[in-house]
Amino acid sequence: CPLLSCSSKIPSIAAGVVGGLLCLVVVGLGIGLYLRRRHIVRKRTLRRLLQERELVEPLTPSGEAPNQAHLRILKETEFKKVKVLGSGAFGTVYKGLWIPEGEKVKIPVAIKELREATSPKANKEILDEAYVMASVDNPHVCRLLGICLTSTVQLITQLMPYGCLLDYIREHKDNIGSQYLLNWCVQIAK
């Protein structure tokens, strides 16, 4: 008799196990679809932010009024500096993150900050450089994402993940063939 009661429970146990596995598969697919959708939405938002060029209320601390048709004015609260990448004639370059207001994406950027004791002439030069960079749309040139006009002028550009090409060439000059150099020259000339 106990064998008979066990054999009558086997189909219901098997149905329960199969039903439980089906529920797990459905929940897993649902989570997978949700994560994929969220990734696609973030990717589209990032692409839109990198491609849109909108004019925000311009600030002109240098007293100059540049042609800002292609410049996005960013608030200092929209980005944060992570580490120093280097410094040059105009100032210091930082690795940073741009977090556009109202968005949930963090875009890796390079932040070029002018030295504080910069003359109005140098400010004009950097604004001219910003205008030129903003008007250039080439896959082989870093895009200017925006400019922040606070006590120091800051240019925000895309961060190149592999660093400075000149540093790479200097470091690997013995291992770089003529074909690579020619390809780079063609890309730069485009």
**Annotation: binding site for ATP:** 112
Tell me, letter by letter, the H, E, C secondary structure of 22-59. HHHHHHHHHHHHHHHHHHHHHHHHHHHHHHCCCCCCCC
What is the rounded CA–CA span in Å between residue 156 and residue 100?
A: 12
Q: Tell me the CA distances in angstroms from 107 to 44, 98, 113, 156, 178, one per residue in order.
A: 13, 5, 18, 11, 34
Quickly tell me which residue has 């960013």 as its tokens: 74
Residue 80 belongs to what H/E stretch?
A: strand 79-87
Residues of the binding site: 112
Alpha-carbon distance of 28 to 36, in angstroms, equals: 12
Pairwise CA distance, residues 184 & 167, whole Å: 14
161's tokens: 């993940």
Structure tokens at 74: 């960013």
